[in-house]
């Protein structure tokens, strides 16, 4: 038993030493642009990141950036997976905050990026609360705010939850609040950003070519190759194509859950142009 524990500690120590060596040897990334995809959990940020990473001038981190750095608190580490708004004080950063070690953060991300590319791409839902800080510290930062129908998002957050922390998922009122508050923060902070654009998940699903090429224009890049939006892809361990999954999620909501989403997130739904649903008793 003691030997097993010793070997485990030794592996962890060697792993930490190896990681620190890699960080030290990684150059600080200096792209033409940093691009951040930001939005609430379950809004399609993974899908958009996967598609955009297929552009020949873009290198995207193959996972959420906050998973591979020790510079940001992780939502699941504090028992709040997919629910950062419950501790907004631990996630919100503006240009007036000191924040983490910028050079270390860039190098941690740089280890997972092709630094020869013009544009480096990162996506993490909690970064919706940090856009102003990123603008100050990351060169020529551009932000893509992705918004999806709040009914579908709230259902997904409640259903997925995290069995390690939340046995039966999140209550629908907290999930709806996560969606609404995440978009409110993003909307307010966007007023301070030099380069920001909104994208709707529904537009991306309906016409990925037009949406991606609008983003290419926003970033000053040539159009996306056809393979970026026509080929299937692997997302969350599932091979799939680009399609709108809203109806599947919304149909899972009970009439009482619909009422709750209306009460908690109705104003935000209206602001982003989503119809308010009538509960079907």
Residues of the chain with pLDDT below 50 are 165, 237
Within a domain: 157: yes
| 213 within some domain | yes
**Is 26 inside a domain boundary?**
no
pLDDT for position 19 = 76
- Whether residue 257 lies inside any domain: the answer is yes
Question: How large is the angle between the packed helices 172-190 and 150-160, nearest 10 degrees?
Answer: 130
Three-state DSSP class for residue 142 = strand
Whether 7 is covered by a domain: the verdict is no
Is position 16 within any domain?
Answer: no
Give the CATH number of the domain where residue 164 resides.
3.40.50.300
Number of domains in the chain: 1
pLDDT tens-digit profile of 230-266?
A: 766 655 545 567 889 999 999 999 999 999 999 999 9
Non-local CB neighbours of 141 within 8 Å, separated by 6+ positions: 33, 34, 35, 36, 134, 135, 193, 194, 195
CB 57 within 8 A of CB 116: no
Residues 6+ apart with CB under 8 A from 85: 177, 178, 181, 182
Q: Is residue 278 part of a domain?
A: no
pLDDT at 238: 54
The Cα–Cα gap between 251 and 231 comes to 28
Handedness of CA 81, 84, 89, 94 (dihedral sign): positive
The β-bridge partners of 123 are: 37
Q: What are the pLDDT digits (tens) for 107-153? A: 999 999 999 999 999 999 999 999 999 999 999 999 999 999 999 99
Residue 68 lies in a domain: yes
What pLDDT score was predicted for residue 248? 96
- Note down the domain range covering 214: 31-271
């Amino acid at each position: 038993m003691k030997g097993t524990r010793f070997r485990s500690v030794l592996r962890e120590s060697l792993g930490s030493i190896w990681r620190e060596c890699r960080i030290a040897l990684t150059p600080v990334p200096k792209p033409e642009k940093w691009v951040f995809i930001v939005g609430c959990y379950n809004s399609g940020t993974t899908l958009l990141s996967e598609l955009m990473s297929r552009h020949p001038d873009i290198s995207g981190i193959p996972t959420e950036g906050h998973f591979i750095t020790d510079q940001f608190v992780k939502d699941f580490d504090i028992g709040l997976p997919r629910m950062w708004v419950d501790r907004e004080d631990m996630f919100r950063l503006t240009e007036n905050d000191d924040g983490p070690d910028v050079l270390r953060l860039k190098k941690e991300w740089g280890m997972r990026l092709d630094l020869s590319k013009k544009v480096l791409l990162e996506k993490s839902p909690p970064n919706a609360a940090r856009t102003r800080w990123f603008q100050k510290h990351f060169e020529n930062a551009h932000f893509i705010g992705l918004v999806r129908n709040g009914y579908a998002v709230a259902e997904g957050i409640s259903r997925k939850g995290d069995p390690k922390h939340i046995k039966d998922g999140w209550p629908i009122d907290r999930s709806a609040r996560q969606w609404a508050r995440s978009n409110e923060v993003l909307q307010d902070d966007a007023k301070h950003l030099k380069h920001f654009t909104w994208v709707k998940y529904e537009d991306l699903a309906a016409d990925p070519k037009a949406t991606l090429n609008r983003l290419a224009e926003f970033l000053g890049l040539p159009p996306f190759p056809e393979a970026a939006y026509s080929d299937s892809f692997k997302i969350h361990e599932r091979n799939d194509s680009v399609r709108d999954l809203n109806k599947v999620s919304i149909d899972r909501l009970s009439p009482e859950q619909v009422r709750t989403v209306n009460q908690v997130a109705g104003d935000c739904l209206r602001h982003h142009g989503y119809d308010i649903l009538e509960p079907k008793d």
